[in-house]
């Protein structure tokens, strides 16, 4: 049997230190040394998955090929490691408790009192073992959500303590990510928050093997020694995680301070050759790019960029391939009117309407789409964005002024977007949308075909409503091209316009499959068309 290694990454002091990027960057470096790696995210909240949470609470819901609604950190993992995750790569406390309670109801515990220790902790450890086994990797990185000291994350930390007991010492590692702030008044880097955070970790019986310290300047040796002394590690196990301007620099910075080498040493893994030149070249080239274009993102959660994490990443990847920096202009469509739309969009080279739910802000989206269509500004509509483009066309080109989606007006006489047949019997909320990867056939000679360079694609979905086929013929006669269909020809997956430089809508979420190594073809071509328009 393969000897598998486990790296646990915990976070301390404050949230938002970038545990997801840290795991992704480390994973990328280990993969670049020829190791097979996967990452598991453990989320301490009680929701079974983030699918039912508001974007204000949780940011984006990241959908995997197998249709799981997961934490947005899985997006970072996929983008950095260039591998596809599954529902096994994300577990929440809610999922663990749910499974344990179901087992209890079946009588599987044979009369035992069901407790956090050992039943919940065993179930957590089962998940960690199982993702490694299923993916047959050399190394499993486990990211523990939340901050050490939270009541919620205690069972997870306890589970890890037990997990480590069962394996030889050099098969597991705990890396603790902390913050070492610089206090200007004292002209000093402060180590106390790190000391306290490690204290909390040690209280539960977890001694970190390494500290990864977020800092805005390199840690001098005396600071590393002090942290080491108080936290019971050696100074060389205190690693600088320097602030960088671009997240893609993080792996390069880790490689520079030999973080990955130290990890391999401690796990007693062979130091294979590191192969990151392609990544380095890409990042360095992008850093030198000096032209910029502005693209409008017309959505609802615009003050909350976490809701559009993958879209932002996809634009970065597309920018890298087009040698341009894409500046996003966030437009709250609740504030867009027929009067101000031209002014609000006068300085942009492209207009994107992303996915979303609910009626709020829809009319503003329709004004933005009309503006893009009539002024021949490149337009990209994703999921709700496609649905709105179809509504706009039906209203303003076919002249059916009350056309709508039944999501927003159940009584419209022109339900050009309506509930999918398979959704009509759905009563429960969690995990019941049309989710995950489905195949799609493209029409020859369309912009979609040109972008993908092939006719058969598969993309990820998360929706309940769809294009109403009763309007297909009329819309096609009026110049709308149905450029992508489900293989049985029943579901409209992509649309575009004949008489427009680049007006494309898709029912799926292409942003979920964009990678640093490979920009998504639709984002790449949308950015290229926007560049062309900008000229």
249 versus 511: smaller Cβ distance to ligand GLN: 511
The structure tokens listed for 280 are 């380095």
Q: What's phi and psi for 14, nearest 5 deg? A: -140, 165
CA distance 217 to 184: 12
Class of residue 452 by CB neighbours under 10 A (exposed 0-12, middle 13-18, buried 19+) = buried
CA distance 523 to 328: 13
Q: DSSP of 202-213, one letter per residue?
A: HHTT---SEEEE
419 versus 478: smaller Cβ distance to ligand GLN: 419
CA-nearest of 35, 25, 29, 84 to 436 is: 84
Binding stretches for ligand GLN (CB under 6 A)? 355-357, 383-384, 407, 462-465
Which 3 state secondary structure label does DSSP give 41? strand
CA distance 39 to 60: 19
Name the helix (H) or strand (E) containing 262.
helix 259-266
80 versus 526: smaller Cβ distance to ligand GLN: 526
Residue partners of 252: CB distance under 8 A and separation at least 6: 276, 279, 280, 283
158 versus 392: smaller Cβ distance to ligand GLN: 392
Q: Where in 313-463 does DSSP place strands (E)?
A: 325-332, 350-353, 379-382, 404-405, 415-419, 434-442, 456-463
Smallest gap from residue 466 Cβ to ligand GLN (A): 7
CA distance 255 to 279: 12
Q: What's phi and psi for 283, nearest 5 deg? A: -65, -45
Smallest gap from residue 315 Cβ to ligand GLN (A): 18
Task: Name the residue with tokens 């997990």.
Answer: 163
Smallest gap from residue 288 Cβ to ligand GLN (A): 36
396 versus 432: smaller Cβ distance to ligand GLN: 432
Q: Residue 439: count other Cβ atoms within 10 Å of its Cβ.
A: 12
Q: Where in 300-349 does DSSP place strands (E)?
A: 325-332
134 versus 360: smaller Cβ distance to ligand GLN: 360
CA distance 230 to 194: 9
Q: What's phi and psi for 384, nearest 5 deg? A: -55, -30
Smallest gap from residue 383 Cβ to ligand GLN (A): 3
231 versus 386: smaller Cβ distance to ligand GLN: 386
**Exposure class string for 257-275: b at 16+ Cβ within 10 A, else e:** bebbebbbebbebeeeeee
In the complex, residue closest to ligand GLN by CB: 355
Smallest gap from residue 419 Cβ to ligand GLN (A): 8
Smallest gap from residue 52 Cβ to ligand GLN (A): 14
CA distance 26 to 379: 37
Smallest gap from residue 51 Cβ to ligand GLN (A): 11
Catalytic residue annotation: 383, 509, 511
112 versus 426: smaller Cβ distance to ligand GLN: 426
């Amino acid at each position: 049997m393969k000897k598998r290694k486990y790296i646990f990454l915990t976070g301390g002091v404050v949230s938002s230190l970038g545990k997801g990027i840290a795991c992704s960057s480390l994973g990328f470096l280990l993969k670049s040394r020829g190791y097979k790696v996967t990452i598991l995210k453990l989320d301490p909240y009680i929701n079974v998955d983030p699918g039912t949470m508001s974007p204000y609470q949780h940011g984006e819901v990241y959908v995997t090929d197998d249709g799981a609604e997961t934490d947005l950190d899985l997006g970072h993992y996929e983008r950095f490691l260039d591998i596809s995750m599954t529902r096994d790569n994300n577990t929440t406390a809610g999922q663990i408790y749910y499974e344990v309670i179901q087992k209890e109801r079946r009588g599987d515990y044979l009369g035992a009192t069901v407790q956090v220790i050992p039943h919940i902790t065993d179930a957590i450890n089962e998940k960690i073992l199982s993702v490694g086994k299923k993916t047959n990797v050399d190394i499993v990185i486990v990211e523990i959500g939340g901050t050490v000291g939270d009541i919620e994350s205690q069972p997870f930390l306890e589970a890890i303590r037990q997990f480590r007991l069962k394996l030889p010492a050099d098969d597991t590692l705990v890396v603790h990510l902390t913050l070492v702030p610089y206090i200007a008044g004292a002209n000093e880097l402060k180590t106390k928050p790190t000391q306290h955070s490690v204290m909390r970790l040690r209280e539960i019986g977890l001694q970190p093997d390494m500290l990864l310290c977020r800092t805005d300047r390199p840690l001098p040796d005396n600071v590393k020694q002090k942290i080491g002394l108080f936290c019971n590690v050696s100074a060389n196990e205190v690693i600088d995680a320097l602030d960088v301007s671009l997240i893609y620099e993080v792996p390069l910075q880790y490689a520079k301070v030999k973080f990955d080498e130290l990890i391999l040493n401690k796990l007693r893994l062979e130091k294979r050759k590191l192969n990151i030149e392609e990544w380095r070249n890409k990042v360095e080239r992008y850093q030198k790019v000096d032209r910029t274009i502005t693209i409008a993102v017309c959505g609802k959660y615009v003050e909350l960029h976490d809701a559009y994490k993958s879209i932002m990443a996809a634009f970065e990847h597309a920018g890298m391939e087009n040698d341009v920096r894409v500046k996003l202009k966030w437009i709250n469509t609740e504030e867009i009117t027929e009067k101000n739309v031209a002014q609000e969009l006068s300085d942009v080279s492209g207009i994107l309407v992303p996915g979303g739910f609910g009626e709020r802000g829809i009319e503003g989206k329709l004004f933005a789409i009309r503006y893009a269509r009539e002024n021949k500004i490149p337009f990209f509509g994703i999921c709700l964005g496609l649905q709105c483009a179809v509504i706009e066309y039906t209203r303003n080109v076919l002249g059916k002024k009350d056309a709508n989606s039944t999501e927003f007006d159940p009584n419209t006489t022109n339900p050009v977007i309506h509930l999918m047949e398979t959704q009509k019997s759905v009563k429960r909320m969690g995990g019941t949308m049309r989710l995950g990867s489905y195949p799609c056939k493209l029409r020859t000679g369309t912009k979609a075909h040109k972008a993908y360079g092939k006719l058969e694609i598969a993309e990820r979905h998360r929706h309940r409503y769809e294009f109403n086929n009763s309007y297909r013929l009329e819309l096609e006669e009026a110049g709308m091209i149905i450029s992508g269909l489900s293989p049985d020809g029943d579901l409209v997956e992509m649309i575009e316009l004949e008489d427009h430089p680049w007006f494309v809508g898709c029912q799926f979420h292409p942003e979920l499959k964009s990678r640093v190594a490979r920009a998504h073809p639709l984002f790449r071509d949308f950015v290229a068309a926007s560049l062309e328009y900008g000229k």
